[in-house]
């Protein structure tokens, strides 16, 4: 290759290098002019907010009905706590938190009412079927007043359907109540009076009401039980 050709190719190579360096400079200027890309934090996990689960502990000697009752009381306790949280959130002007805690309180209330309903059924069975009581007796111990009224109506209706002359409602003397005052007995008596259903306090046990259902009992109550 002669000197003129060598010089020609050298000029071409120099131009190529110059052009490449120019392109690199342009690219570098473009990159440096872009705002820095911030590292994005990992997306936060969506956490479902709900009422805390409670671990129920069975105490020695507790029956199934009593355990259900204990669970209901615990649920009502959590409900009251959530209501208080809702109140504080409302005072602080945090409406969304107030709504959340009120919703959780409502959930606990429904749970507690269901547990109490189940507890009443189990306790009644434990105190009656579990003790082999006949349809002529109904033990209303361990029930709340409204529950006792409901089971008293059921017992009277069942006894009537079986053609019994009377049914004994074991309402208790109030020995287990606060201050020793009977709560179930006076309410059952008032219910029977309101329905014009004749009854007597047992002479053997003042915690037992004897409800008369037919003429061959000491009183006549024809047609009254249809209103139960």
Q: What pLDDT, in 10s, does the model give residues 139-184?
A: 999 999 999 999 999 999 999 999 999 999 999 988 877 777 899 9
State both tokens at 91: 């005072």
**Which burial class, exposed, middle or buried, applies to 11 when counting CB atoms under 10 A from its CB (0-12, 13-18, 19+)?**
exposed
H helix runs in the chain, sequence order = 3-33, 64-91, 95-127, 145-161, 184-194
Q: Which CATH class is domain 133-227?
A: alpha beta
Q: Beta strand pairing status for 137-139 and 166-170?
A: parallel
- For 46, the 3-state DSSP assignment is coil
Q: Where are the domains of the chain?
A: 64-127, 133-227
User: Within its chain, how far is the Cα of 141 from the centroid?
Assistant: 24
pLDDT tens-digit map of 73-120: 999 999 999 999 999 999 999 999 999 999 999 999 999 999 999 999
Percent of the chain past pLDDT 70, that is, above it, reads 67
Cα 171 to Cα 206: distance, rounded to the nearest angstrom: 9
Read off the tokens for 114.
Answer: 């269901």
Note the pLDDT tens digit of each residue in 28-74. 554 454 444 444 433 333 333 333 333 333 344 568 999 999 999 99
DSSP state of 218: S
């Amino acid at each position: 290759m002669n000197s003129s050709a060598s010089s020609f190719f050298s000029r071409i190579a120099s131009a190529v290098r110059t052009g490449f360096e120019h392109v690199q400079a342009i690219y570098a200027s473009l990159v440096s002019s872009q705002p820095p890309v911030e590292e994005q934090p990992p997306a936060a996990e969506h956490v479902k907010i709900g009422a805390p689960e409670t671990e129920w502990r069975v105490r020695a000697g507790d029956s199934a009905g009593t355990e259900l009752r204990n669970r209901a009381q615990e649920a009502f306790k959590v409900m009251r706590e959530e209501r208080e949280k809702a109140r504080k959130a409302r005072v602080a002007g945090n409406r969304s938190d107030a709504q959340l805690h009120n919703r959780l309180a409502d959930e606990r209330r429904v749970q507690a009412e269901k547990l109490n309903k189940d507890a009443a059924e189990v306790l009644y069975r434990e105190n009656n079927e579990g003790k082999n009581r006949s349809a002529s007796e109904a033990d209303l111990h361990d029930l709340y007043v409204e529950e006792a009224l409901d089971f008293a109506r059921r017992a009277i209706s069942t006894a009537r359907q079986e053609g019994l002359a009377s049914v004994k409602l074991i309402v208790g003397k109030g020995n287990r109540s606060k201050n020793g005052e009977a709560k179930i007995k006076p309410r059952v008596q008032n219910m029977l009076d309101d329905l014009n259903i004749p009854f007597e306090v047992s002479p053997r046990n003042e915690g037992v009401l004897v409800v008369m259902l037919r003429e061959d009992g000491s009183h006549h109550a024809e047609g009254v039980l249809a209103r139960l």
